[in-house]
Amino acid sequence: MKFYFASSSKVWEDPAWVSGIVDAGFDGWEISADGNYRLDNETTFAGVKNTIKETGLEVSVHAPFSDLNPASINLPIWEETVNQLSVTITRAAEIADTVVIHPGYLSPVSRYDTALAWQNHKQACIRLGETAESVGVKACLENMPNLDDFFCRDPYEQDGFVDGTGMGLTFDVGHANTNGNLNDFCKIILPNAYHLHIHDNNGVRDEHLPLSEGSIPWDKIMPKIVKEYKGKIIVVEGRNPEEGKKSLEFLRRWF
């Protein structure tokens, strides 16, 4: 098993912080492809590639999600969302083999036509799955924390969106804990997950705490991960590499 680190809060920081991932002992970096790390911008993409070369880290990619909505019923917004995510997937194929995708959400208007929003989201998954397959990467849909109107807070819904699309599943343990259905996610999503995000919280907010500093019952969850997770990477999501190191030390007791 390989361990990567990711911090979405650092997208506007100078890439110098990434050296801390190496110092903490991680194998790789999951790039939050937004801000100073966008892959659809030649300058920032060159900076990303230079950082990979300098650090020697392996990488996966988390696609941008700010202001994007693959469930939008506003067609120009939907098309722009799918286009930006498709470009990210295509560029990511130059440096990685896994791209994480956030699901969409209901807008004030689409709350009145949830079926159309669901249909558009499914179509986006089909398009993104086809793009990923064509360039040789795996696009993986992630489950969401307890945020109003977001899709994929339920394991059956997440599984239904990727069914037949060629997309894989990213299981985020911390996100599931905020929804109070972590056991259901472990039962339905974990055995089929291609990619895994791990962090802790106290069951209400998506705090991204080091492992064992929140309320997740790791003595029950970690044996399931060790036994049932078939992926090759576990991504620690944290606020900084120093806190990430605490989670890495915790994980190495199990792997």
Predicted pLDDT at 101 = 98
d(CA 100, CA 255): 23
Among 167, 137, 138, 172, which residue's Cα sits nearest to residue 152? 172
Average pLDDT over residues 60-88: 97
Please check whether residue 20 is in contact with residue 29, taking contact to mean a CB–CB distance below 8 angstroms: no
pLDDT category at 183 given cuts 50, 70, 90 is very high
Can you tell me whether residue 105 is helix, strand or coil?
Answer: strand
Please check whether residue 54 is in contact with residue 15, taking contact to mean a CB–CB distance below 8 angstroms: no
Predicted pLDDT at 232 = 96
CATH number at residue 49: 3.20.20.150
Number of structural domains found in the chain? 1
pLDDT category at 53 given cuts 50, 70, 90 is very high
pLDDT category at 157 given cuts 50, 70, 90 is very high
Predicted pLDDT at 181 = 97
Average pLDDT over residues 47-60: 98
Enclosing domain of residue 137: 2-251
Q: What is the DSSP letter of 180?
A: T
Average pLDDT over residues 179-184: 97
**Chain segment 96-150, per-residue pLDDT in tens:** 999 999 999 999 999 999 999 999 999 999 999 999 999 999 999 999 999 999 9
d(CA 211, CA 213): 6
Predicted pLDDT at 160 = 97
d(CA 236, CA 210): 9
Among 180, 115, 102, 186, which residue's Cα sits nearest to residue 144? 102
d(CA 246, CA 211): 7
Helix (H) or strand (E) holding 194: none
pTM over 0.95: yes
Residue that has been written with the tokens 């606020």 in this structure = 239
**Chain segment 186-208, per-residue pLDDT in tens:** 999 999 999 999 999 999 999 99
Predicted pLDDT at 115 = 96
Average pLDDT over residues 203-223: 97
Q: What percent of the chain has pLDDT over 70?
A: 100
For every residue of 10-76, DSSP letters joined together read GTTS-GGGGHHHHHHT-SEEEEE-SGGG-SSSHHHHHHHHHHHHHH--EEEEE---TT--TT-SSHH
End-to-end CA gap in the chain? 7
The CB density around residue 90, as the number of other CB atoms within 10 Å, is 17
